[in-house]
Chain A
Amino acid sequence: MSMNNQGRPTGTGASGFTSTSGSALLPNEPLLFEIGDTEHSGVDLPDVTISASRLGGFERKMPLDLAGLTEPEAMRHYVRLSRLNHSIDSGMYPLGSCTMKHNPRLNEKMARLPGFADIHPLQPASTVQGALELMNQLSHWLMTLTNTAAVALTPKAGAHGELLGMMAIKAAQDAAGQSHRTIVLVPESAHGTNPATAAFLGYSVKPIPARDDGTVDVQAVKDALSPEVAAIMLTNPNTCGLFEPQVIEIAEAVHAAGAFFYCDGANFNAIMGVVRPGDLGIDAMHINLHKTFSTPHGGGGPGAGPVVLSEALAPFAPVPFVRKGGNGLELVEHAEGGALGRITAFQGQMGMYVRALTYMLSHGGDGLAQAAQDAVLNANYIKARLQHVFSVPFGDYPTMHEALFDDSFLAGTGVTTLDFAKALIDEGFHPMTMYFPLVVHGAMLIEPTESESKQTLDHFCDVMAELATDAKAGNATRFTAAPLKAPRRRLDETRAARSPILKWERKDELPKAAE
């Protein structure tokens, strides 16, 4: 059974949302290896014989044991599996910090043009002038929107971009004889990738506490600055959904101390076309093309995390990059001077560049600004509609593109934030981000993005309010047992971690679960 919820209390939802009891359309799907076998195949290929192999005696002897499916079997397997997923196309995804916006299909169509999809990264530059021009155009948009001097396109994701940005800072400081700078300041509200990146590069991480209003304490930054500080890694708008009101003062203090300002650009969606980070004094900032510029998340990637760089860091950009040469555009593929070299094979995520530029051209400068304003409008609307239901930890400023609540309304109900979020699943929504940022106890971080209509926002707010009322009324089982209508009930994550089963094994094989 999958959607069967017979005999269980479900609640009806506040605004008439009803489930379809459609379990017949959502059967459990066996594993690929339980359906297929090693003889079936969905690909017709000639069976050639090789008279004189050049494999030098390294022929495969270990069985492949890979199950195959014919095309109709494969179609059914993957379509059935797909229906067990929530997706932005099927419902709202109010995940704070993740920017789950609509993914336009024109982007997909363009990325599949043979002139983009069927070109090799090591073809002669003369045969890929259009691709290099596209990279230049994307760079122009990114630099214009941020008012920065340079951009490194190649990082494969946001965390990779962070790594690159911090490497560029390290390279610049090493080149200036500043290698003694070994400390990186990271506000407590930061994404986990920030301290992980700084530690990866050998920096020690010094946390900066948040003020009671959810913003970074300028005085705490000034007090922490010293000749040993290499950089601050600051997210702006920050993870509490607030624009750092004293960001310029922070930048000036950081620069006065000889350090760099790395900005985590995960929340750029709130300000694109409205505020240029370069005007705030940033030196490096990654931009998640898969958040802000609508390239699909794909169930966890691929992403792309280009990094814009200030004048001071531009000479330390990695290879490759595009420049104008005597015979048109050329790729500079080898490091010159103090550059930090290469952080990935080839040219980065071209498929994402195509999608992001398509998105930019569709919106135009005016549409991007409107999208940012709508994202902020939507978050403030949710905050306004729900602030009397949930407590708002930081109410001093308007929120940006995220509405942050805490779980104090659940005190004494026997319902946890996690339970509350799981109950949202039964109402047809993906849960919000929970327990992050860490600076708020029981945080619930909601990011509607600009893609949600007022009608959807109203429905979401109605459901949230009704759930809160029900939790306070003592109907704890609706929450502690949730979800009841999803393809699975709650999964035992402790068991998964304690005795990991990470692959399918034949029943007749010896049990050898990894420890």
Chain B
Amino acid sequence: MRYLPHSEHERAEMLGVIGAANIDALFSAVPKQALKTFDLGLPAHSPEFLVEAHMRALAGKNHAGADGPFFVGAGAYRHHVPATVDHLIQRSEWLTAYTPYQPEISQGTLQMLFEFQTQVAKLTGMDVANASLYDGSTGTAEAVLMARRLTKRNKIVLSGGLHPHYRDVVKAYLKDDADLECLSASPEGQGDILDHIDETTAAIVIQTPDFYGHLRNLKTAADAAHAKGALLIVVITEVVSLGLIEAPGAYGADIVVAEGQSIGNALNFGGPYLGLLATRKEFIRQMPGRICGETVDAEGQRGFVLTLSTREQHIRREKATSNICTNSGLCALAFSIHMGLLGEAGFTRLARLNHANACKLADALATVTGVEVLNKTFFNEMTIRTAQPAATLIERLARRGILAGVPVSRLEPSDPSVANLIVLAATELTTDADIAALCAALSEELA
């Protein structure tokens, strides 16, 4: 077996040093009725080329993004990742390092995390960021719990524009308790969350651009929340938008959570992704997850360490701020390299290109009979109402090789009012030909 270094001779020699008659002697604590009393019925070990053939066959049954016009977004976005990013993250020293608990021999990872935290703070316009969370959805749940700890209040209000999966994750984390208020879906950007804030409110949660693509007014939300002593949690699923849209920190957001997948990370059918969490400096001791900080070594040289660990489970056990242990280190690295390659100049151009393509898409869709674009504002994503139920329409378009977006009913099956709605996204990868193909196919299907 190519991954196991011992020869049979060496195994025997080692058993001799141990003083064990055979390998089973080392498993003597296992109850007799449980030790190798079964036949797993699993295939035997296999050469690399056969494993590769098996996996390629599975991969070949999927329609990849590059196989045709692609407009699927709704919380995960198909962007170009520079070749440099994927090369660098596969370097052994990044890929096969552990969590940097021994800072003297982990300065690469630690300095990268410090740079990452700086990038996230600048993007969001917040004071500080952590070293990443699993993804945007679990990050939102962590932010909600953090707001409860900070305010010692319980009521949480989720905007009707929050990604339905994110809402469902918050519901599961909060066990759907009575203090959680989920506003109904607002595909036209409607719904006034501000009326739901009172003196018991810990936080309101607003996504912008929201699930349906609308840009939300964070200034009025922050002012209304703060007037009642509540916090504003801002959720962003498309971080590229921050290249063109004002930073939540400029409006007075208290906690910003984002899905960072768009920068540096492939679609990967949903994971691994990357949760970003940024906040005000006075809140850092209630932040969940790992945090990297600057310090000096015994010779006074600048260096970096994981810090504020007294919040964490391995120190505090049942009193920890979160049970989180692992974060998304390698995805954070991919994000940080890609963002470092873009820089302000490239990131702004990228955001503008996304918006420009989305404008073209919206304008083209508006000309299709049987299609109504619901958005007055958007960044790179929008919602359309079609003359036919969306789910079957999307399926028919997929058969034509066009992945035309996400039927909202897939995420909100119990809400009949969204049955004819589709959420679509454009990115820098969307071409004029893609848009023309989509519109032509929609026209035919809806005729």
Contact = CB atoms under 8 A, between A and B. Distances in A.
Interface string B106-139: 1111011011011101110101110110111110
Interface stretch (B152-160, B197-205, B299-307, B432-440): B299-307
Contacts of A290: 326
Contacts of A45: 346, 349-350, 353, 428
B228 interface: no
Interface string A361-383: 11111111111011011101101
Contact of B246 (A61, A89, A360, A496): A61
Contact of A120 (B43, B65, B242, B343): B65
A275 B250 contact: no
Contacts of B104: 422, 425, 483, 486-491
Contacts of A243: 27, 29-30
Interface stretch (A107-115, A307-315, A409-417, A468-476): A107-115
Interface string B1-27: 111111000110111011110010111
A interface, size bucket? 35 or more
A100 interface: yes
A130 interface: yes
21 contacts: A50-B356, A55-B379, A58-B217, A68-B346, A79-B88, A108-B95, A119-B65, A130-B61, A156-B135, A205-B317, A275-B27, A300-B327, A342-B165, A345-B163, A351-B271, A367-B4, A377-B23, A490-B298, A491-B305, A497-B308, A500-B291
Interface of A is mostly: loop
Nearest to B168: A342
Contacts of B301: 1, 28, 488-489
Interface string A24-67: 00001101110011111111011111101111101111111111
B178 interface: no
A308 B296 CA distance: 45
Interface in B31-62: 31, 33-38, 40-46, 48, 51-52, 54-62
Given A85-B108, A131-B269, A344 B134 contact: yes
A90 B92 contact: yes
B172 A377 contact: no
Nearest to B299: A489
A356 to B, nearest CB: 12
A263 interface: no
Given A40-B343, A66-B342, A493-B305, A501 B293 contact: yes
Contact of B112 (A54, A81, A199, A363): A81
Contact of B330 (A46, A49, A201, A296): A296
Contacts of A491: 103-104, 295-298, 303-305
Given A361-B54, A380-B20, A74 B377 contact: no
A341 B128 contact: no
A317 interface: no
B55 A54 contact: no
B91 A82 contact: yes
B64 A492 contact: no
Contacts of B132: 301
Interface in A167-198: 167, 170, 191-193, 195-198
Contacts of B305: 491, 493, 496
A117 B66 CA distance: 11
Contacts of A43: 82, 341-342, 346, 350
Interface residues of B, number: 210
A106 interface: yes
B316 A196 contact: yes
B105 A129 contact: no
A350 B269 contact: yes
B194 interface: no
A388 to B, nearest CB: 12
Interface in A135-177: 137, 141, 144-145, 147, 156-160, 162-163, 167, 170
A19 to B, nearest CB: 13
A49 B327 CA distance: 38
B103 to A, nearest CB: 5
B88 A75 contact: yes
Contacts of B125: 62
Contact of B353 (A48, A64, A114): A48
B58 A371 contact: no
A398 interface: yes
Given A133-B61, A193-B313, A296-B95, A58 B377 contact: yes
Closest 8 CB pairs of A and B: A68-B343, A115-B59, A298-B330, A346-B270, A130-B61, A365-B42, A121-B270, A302-B272
B387 interface: no
B389 interface: no
Nearest to B425: A120
A144 B41 CA distance: 8
Contacts of B13: 454
A81 B108 contact: yes
A49 B105 CA distance: 47
Contact of A366 (B23, B45, B108): B45
Given A82-B93, A82-B108, A361-B43, A62 B333 contact: no
B63 A119 contact: yes
A300 B329 contact: yes
Contacts of A235: none
A59 B281 contact: no
Residue with the highest number of chain A CB atoms closer than 10 Å, among B25, B51, B121, B259: B51
A191 B362 CA distance: 52
B293 A41 contact: no
Contacts of A275: 27, 30, 34-36
A247 interface: yes
B28 A398 contact: yes
B62 A46 contact: no
A64 B348 contact: yes
B270 A350 contact: yes
A184 to B, nearest CB: 9
A385 B127 contact: no
B231 interface: no
A78 interface: yes
Given A299-B98, A487-B105, A501-B293, 16 more contacts: A41-B346, A54-B378, A66-B343, A85-B93, A88-B98, A116-B62, A144-B40, A156-B135, A156-B271, A199-B317, A199-B319, A342-B168, A342-B172, A380-B26, A430-B98, A514-B281
B267 A117 contact: yes
